[in-house]
Structure formats: structure tokens, C-alpha cells
Structure 1
């Protein structure tokens, strides 16, 4: 159960990344690829939905929105980044910190939305 010591985060992703999360037992995010120096979960579901629907789904055929809880004290080491408008908020986690980040996830990573690409 989330409380004042946890932070709720969302992560839009495609089917390949979601499969790796499933393989982890819904407990961890996969390592970043060499061209992905930052892991960036987002701070609100609307922003995650926009990315999953408007970017992941057209690119991959389907986009997912996931939600998870992170230890709030641990989360404080990553300042919130505003990546656009006032609701475009992300945590920027360096790829080399991802193992430590994963160890601070509380409970399972959950799929809370699925968006399919429009068919012509």
C-alpha cells in the first residue's frame, strides 16, 4: 500500500520492454541500451498515457502504461525534471543507477493501460 514514504511513478513502454519486466517477475526494469543513458519514469499517468498512446503504439503496434511504487527517501536523490509543460515531469535516473533503483521498487510493477495503434 502506498503511503507518505513511497512515490508513485508511471512508465510508458512498448511490448519488448514490458516482456523483460514480466520476465523479472514484475519487479525490475531492464538495463538500458547503450544509446539510452537515462531511465525516466514519469510523475503522472496522463503524461505516461500520452507517450504510450501517441509514440509507443504507432511505433510498436501497442503501448503500455505501467505504475509502480518507489521508496520515497531513495527517490529524493533524483530531482524532478520538467521536460516540457508544467505536467511533463520525470525522474532522470542514470543508467548505471538502475540496479539500485530496481532494489527500491516496492511491490509489483503493474500494467494500468494498453493502447493499440490505429488500423487504416
Structure 2
């Protein structure tokens, strides 16, 4: 039997009052697919992945996506796809009134991260 191939993002969203929760949808040696629910005013701290890539697809909401350790950022919104290649700084602050919901695909799954 082959592994599950269809997932509903809404089944994995975990709103939290503290830090946003990294909710793994599925994981293999090749990649981890993660759902994020970031409440207004919450953030995912700036970080890098020394050994891989992190690709985000924004499903709803908006925010400021960090591009550098010095704080440079760009506005992001529903429909955007963001790619952080190996060692590229990224993180996000939800600057909107609604939750920022996105799916992250990290490759390889065990790529690790370092805070900036």
C-alpha cells in the first residue's frame, strides 16, 4: 500500500496564544510539509536552514517576510510563494487583522535551523 497522498490543511492548523505551532502534515527523508497558523501580532523568528530550502505558500492573511539579519522585509499576502534557499534568512510577522496561514515545504526534512 502506498503512503497517504491527500491531506487537508485545515486538519493540521493549531492556533496558539504563545508561539505559533509547527504542525507537521507529512514527513519523509526527502521533505517535511508543515502547516502554520500565525495569529495577528505573532511572529516566526528570523532563521536560516544551513542544509536545505524552505518554501512557503501563503493560503490566507498577510505579513512582513524577513529577508535579512538586519531586518529588511517585504509585504506578503495570500497567493504568494516564498523560497528561502540554503542559508537565506527568513521569518515572518503577521501585521494583519486576520490569521496568516501557510504551508511550508522543507527539503530535506532533517535540514535543521539556526536563529538569526
After TM superposition, the score normalised by the length of structure 2 is 0.31
Q: Larger strand proportion, structure 1 or 2?
A: 2
Question: With structure 1 as the length reference, what TM-score do the two structures score?
Answer: 0.31
